[in-house]
Amino acid sequence: MTCMHWRWRVAATQRELDDVARIRWAVFGGELGLLSPQSALSRREVTCVDTLDTTVHVLVYAGHEPVATMRVALPNAEVAANQGGKVGLEMEQRVDLSGLLQPGRVVAEPSRFCVLPKWRRSEAVTWLQAGMYVESVRRGVTHWIASTNLETDSPEDALLAWRVAEHRGWLSPHWRVAVPDPRSAPVQPRNPYYTPEERARAAQGQLDGLRLPRAPVLFARTMGARFISEPLYDAYFQWFTLPLVMALDEVPADSVACFRALEQGLRPAA
């Protein structure tokens, strides 16, 4: 894969948007089994946010093959008016973002970060992050607010992941938001993340060396993400997520240098 010709672009044509929806279904529906059976009829994952003119879909190609995608939702006045919010982002329906909103601060919500399984150990992830960063800067975004997958529907394991993130120093020193009580989480989880041995170690306060799911580690290390609350249950996907904030001017310098190098090597189509 090292000799592969990589590129990213903002999806604009019907075919590109279709590629976005197919990749998302392949990951969330086909691989993880998180979507309703009805979605299997078209094998596309689409929500109402996808069609807003303030939503940007980043699509990564390996050669001519679409292999990864994500979306960045920018503030939307119509959505804000309809839901009685201030910025019109999905996260605003689930947590109180008022503490993050200040004059001159432009908040966007990245989500649906998907890489097809065979490409996860390739450059696809870096190219996807580069597209997310470059396009957000171009549109004046100063902060991202998101919620990253904890790969479990177990409240116990989700809270343990949050404790591990805290132990690693990845909680935000500036912001905290309250999350609703996850009453809709399953009583008998289907997808535990930690083993009984790992939970026993954590019960004794031995958090060193305990693993974290891939997504929070990726965003904390490469994008400077810091977590802003205890886990949040996502009823759409039926898993726990960990809310986070990322300031674009605090993205690690080596990551920015990498993203800019990719941009200069092949500037994406508008």
Distance CA 43, CA 24 (A): 9
**pLDDT value of residue 265:** 74
270 band by pLDDT with thresholds 50, 70 and 90: very low
What 3-state class would DSSP assign to 4?
Answer: coil
Taking residues 225-243, report their average pLDDT.
94
Pairing of strands 6-10, 55-62: antiparallel
**pLDDT at position 268 over 50:** no
For helices 155-167 and 214-223, angle between their N-to-C axes, nearest 10 degrees: 20
H helices of the chain, where?
Answer: 14-24, 77-83, 124-138, 155-167, 196-203, 214-223, 253-265
**pLDDT value of residue 183:** 63
Chain CA centroid to CA 121, Å: 18
Residue 31: CB atoms within 10 A of its CB come to 12
Q: Tens digits of per-residue pLDDT, 195-219? A: 999 999 999 999 999 999 999 999 9
Phi/psi region, residue 231 (left: phi>0; alpha: psi -120 to 50; beta: rest), is beta
SS3 sequence of 19-35: HHHHHHHHHHHHHCCCC
182 band by pLDDT with thresholds 50, 70 and 90: low
Token code pair at residue 88? 């019109």
Q: Rank 77-86, 100-109, 161-170, 172-181 by mean pLDDT and report only the highest.
A: 161-170
| Cα dihedral value 19, 21, 27, 28, nearest 10 | 180
Q: Mean pLDDT across the chain, nearest whole number? A: 92
**pLDDT at position 267 over 70:** no
What 3-state class would DSSP assign to 78?
Answer: helix
List, in order, residues 6 or more apart from 221 with CB less than 8 Å away.
252
* Mean pLDDT lowest among 33-37, 51-55, 71-75, 255-259: 33-37
Long-range contacts of 191-195, Cβ-Cβ distance < 8 Å, separation of 24 or more:
191/151, 191/152, 191/153, 191/154, 191/239, 192/152, 192/154, 192/157, 193/150, 193/151, 193/152, 193/154, 193/157, 193/158, 193/160, 193/161, 194/157, 194/160
Buried b (16+ CB within 10 A) or exposed e, 188-223: ebebebbeeebbebbeeeebeebebbebbbbbbebb
Residue 81, CA atoms < 13 Å, CB-side half-sphere = 3
155 band by pLDDT with thresholds 50, 70 and 90: very high
Q: Tell me, what DSSP letter sits at residue 163?
A: H
Lookup result for tokens 């450059």: 123
**pLDDT value of residue 9:** 95
Global pTM? 0.90
- Kindly list the structural domains of the chain, giving each domain's residue range(s) and its CATH number in brackets, ordered by start: 6-265 (3.40.630.30)
Q: Tens digits of per-residue pLDDT, 82-115? A: 988 899 999 998 888 888 888 889 999 999 999 9
**pLDDT value of residue 2:** 47
What 3-state class would DSSP assign to 192?
Answer: coil
